[in-house]
């Protein structure tokens, strides 16, 4: 991967992570996030996979409660320089940033991240960003 591609992918992921949750998703409300006009276009869900309907399974983040918070797993290959999960981002019920894990496909063999959720209740959202197939959203009730 050349430097220019790396910067472009990094900027796209950052823009998605900052703009989408605060501008796009905040007005959607947690209960109808899948029915929002931008579901299936700007971000993708199991119910609204948009143009990536055949790519949903390996891109959807799977959330599991742990003793200290949640674990996020995206069952996607980590092929450095070709196709991988760039990062996981965690948002609270108001789509405020809680944390993230950026992956290095030359080191990380799987897209798995653990997040501590002290004092967080309600719906928690996880975004999984793929370098080719955009941003995928799942949620869990804490």
DSSP SS3 for 96: coil
Give the tens place of pLDDT for each residue, 23-69.
Answer: 444 444 455 677 666 666 678 999 999 999 999 999 999 999 999 99
> What domain range is 66 assigned to?
3-141
The pLDDT, as a whole number, for residue 38 is: 62
Percent of the chain residues past pLDDT 70, beyond the cut? 73
Q: How many domains does the chain have?
A: 1
* Backbone φ, ψ for residue 28 (5° rounding): -80, -30
pLDDT the model gives residue 31 = 53
Output the CA–CA distances (angstroms, integers) from residue 105 to 65, 72, 101, 111, 130, in the order listed.
Answer: 25, 17, 12, 9, 11
CATH number at residue 111: 2.60.40.730
Per-residue model confidence (pLDDT) at position 28:
46
User: Up-side HSE of residue 46: CA atoms within 13 Å toward CB?
Assistant: 9
């Amino acid at each position: 991967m050349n430097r220019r591609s790396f910067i472009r992918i990094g900027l796209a992921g950052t823009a998605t992570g900052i703009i989408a949750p605060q501008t796009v998703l905040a007005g959607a409300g947690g209960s109808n996030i899948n029915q929002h006009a931008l579901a299936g276009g700007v971000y993708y869900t199991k119910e609204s996979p948009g143009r990536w309907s055949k790519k949903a399974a390996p891109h959807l983040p799977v959330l599991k409660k742990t003793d200290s918070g949640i674990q996020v797993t995206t069952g996607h290959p980590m092929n450095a320089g070709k196709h991988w999960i760039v990062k996981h981002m965690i948002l609270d019920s108001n789509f405020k940033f809680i944390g993230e894990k950026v992956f290095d496909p030359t080191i990380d063999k799987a897209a798995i991240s653990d997040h501590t959720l002290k004092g967080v209740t309600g719906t928690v959202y996880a975004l999984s960003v793929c370098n080719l197939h955009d941003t995928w959203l799942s949620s869990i009730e804490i």
